[in-house]
Amino acid sequence: MSAFELKNLNDCLEKHLPPDELKEVKRILYGVEEDQTLELPTSAKDIAEQNGFDIKGYRFTAREEQTRKRRIVRVGAIQNSIVIPTTAPIEKQREAIWNKVKTMIKAAAEAGCNIVCTQEAWTMPFAFCTREKFPWCEFAEEAENGPTTKMLAELAKAYNMVIIHSILERDMEHGETIWNTAVVISNSGRYLGKHRKNHIPRVGDFNESTYYMEGNTGHPVFETEFGKLAVNICYGRHHPQNWMMFGLNGAEIVFNPSATIGRLSEPLWSIEARNAAIANSYFTVPINRVGTEQFPNEYTSGDGNKAHKEFGPFYGSSYVAAPDGSRTPSLSRDKDGLLVVELDLNLCRQVKDFWGFRMTQRVPLYAESFKKASEHGFKPQIIKET
């Protein structure tokens, strides 16, 4: 694990601020007037304690309506470190991570979660920094019929839970191409579909385009028993249009499985998914892995830094943001954790009615502008003094 001095911002606030001041700080920081803690079952907390991971529970409420019943859904976000060294056999590494996360999914089930989502590329170390093809490409597997989807499908059915998991996909029907893909499994245990990462980073140690390119699945929204779900994978959170398209397609909850590190992106982390929730009137669930991963060979990224074997630290800090701008506290910056959040999906429409962001969005105006901007002969609309 990484050696962060500050493990958790919320814990720091609670430790050092008096109650009245803490309440006002949380109102400003999280956008909530009242305590949003969700009491979790002892059975779920026992699993977490026995297996060394944090578990936190929060809730978002909505106004009671006269014509619609409350639409209460519980989501679980899982952040975790890898388990054994990256030099171990591929199947051993994957199995070790499977075993850890299966226990966390069991805790999510005990906590009443209807939907669970993993972090990005959860079955493997985030080895794309190395630019080495072997052995890392061996982690790739089929989205629908691969071993991880089959294993999770059994859990989804057993726990009556939708499971979203992010993998390195091997597309056997198109030249065995590799993609960065999120797979959605219905609570019936059936494969529902997949989404491939739309935006690929080329920054710092994130050398992902060595392995896969931009996705070709558009912006799908998956209609489930527990709401309309979408997945904006990692780097896509930096692109407002990516978030917007999931909203235009009707998403009520957008998960953001990620793998991002320390000072590269932490200033952006608490802002982007929260802003997307506000702008698009849906819930967002950004999830990040934890720990520092060590690889066998030194690598560089052409950024002037010395060759190194470590990648990280990944800073965790998974949270959930609501369409009214409020958010939960984050999970730890350096420890495995399960975040359980109860949502009332009616809040999505209520916020649309109150703020009118969707009504005033003016999609045709921007569609015309985007069309012009994408043409070869485009000239920016700049007015100069003559």
Strand 177-185 versus strand 191-196 pairing type: antiparallel
Q: Which residues contact 164 (CB under 8 A, 6 or more apart)?
A: 115, 116, 117, 118, 182, 183, 184, 185, 229, 231, 255, 257
Residue type at 76? G
Q: Which residues contact 144 (CB under 8 A, 6 or more apart)?
A: 183, 191, 194
Count the Cβ atoms, other than its own, within 10 Å of residue 49.
12
Phi/psi for 345 (5° steps) reads -65, -15
Q: Do residues 80 and 122 touch, judged by C-beta distance below 8 A? A: yes
Interatomic CA distance for residues 24 and 12, integer angstroms: 15
Q: Which residues contact 28 (CB under 8 A, 6 or more apart)?
A: none
* Residues acting as catalytic residues: 120, 197, 234
Q: By three-state DSSP, how is residue 162 classified?
A: strand
CA distances to 55, 146, 300 from 204, in Å: 32, 31, 9
Interatomic CA distance for residues 4 and 92, integer angstroms: 28
